[in-house]
Amino acid sequence: MSLDFHPTKNDLICSCDSDGEIRYWSINNGSCASVFKGGMAQLRFQPRLGKFLAAAAENVVSILDVETKSLRHSLQGHTKPIHSVCWDPSGEFLASVSEDSVRVWTFGSGSEGECIHDLSCNGNKYHCCVFHPTYSSSLLVIGSYQSLELWNMVENKTMALTAHEGLIAALAVSTTTGLIASASHDKFVKLWK
């Protein structure tokens, strides 16, 4: 269902399946290093440090310690299943997306796992998100059916842009170029500046 490379351990890639099993894989020898429960929709390693693994299952995001595989935080608040999780480039903020809401959690000093921003859907079902490459501390880009929604978290204001003719299934961001890519069920990939 999802996979991610560890940001600092060159030999580690992680995957999750629809049965909720998370697997650590050794890239060097191609073998499964460990199996444990915790994620079935999407998982992402914390950027830069790689201390945490965020794994979404149903309406909860589990924050797992990468080394011990122990549950550090259970992020609750979504009422619908979570489709997507993403970290900001610093690894201090995590966003989680369900069809009816987006929540942003902090992992900065002193307040791990606290929900600091919450956006409810105003009709168009949400599906994925990325932090803006230039304004990652204040702007989240959310993919939904046919549109991208820009959410200024500081001012709690949104702006919708018509982007595709189908569901925006995935978003990617390049902090190097400042581009955002959107992929849709309309069979197009578009780049945004």
| pLDDT tens by residue, 72-88 | 999 999 999 999 999 99
Burial class (CB in 10 A: 0-12, 13-18, 19+), 31: exposed
pLDDT band at 123 (very low <50, low <70, confident <90, very high): confident
CA distance 46 to 124: 29
What's the pLDDT score for residue 173? Answer: 94
Whether the per-residue pLDDT at 175 is higher than 90: the answer is no
What's the pLDDT score for residue 112? Answer: 85
Average pLDDT over residues 98-127: 89
Higher pLDDT, residue 41 or 145: 145
CA distance 162 to 146: 6
Q: Are 77 and 103 in contact (CB under 8 A)?
A: yes
What's the pLDDT score for residue 122? Answer: 78
* Percentage of the chain exceeding pLDDT 70: 99
Q: From 56, 109, 55, 63, select the one nearest 82 (Cα to Cα).
A: 56
Whether the per-residue pLDDT at 65 is higher than 80: the answer is yes
Whether the per-residue pLDDT at 111 is higher than 80: the answer is no
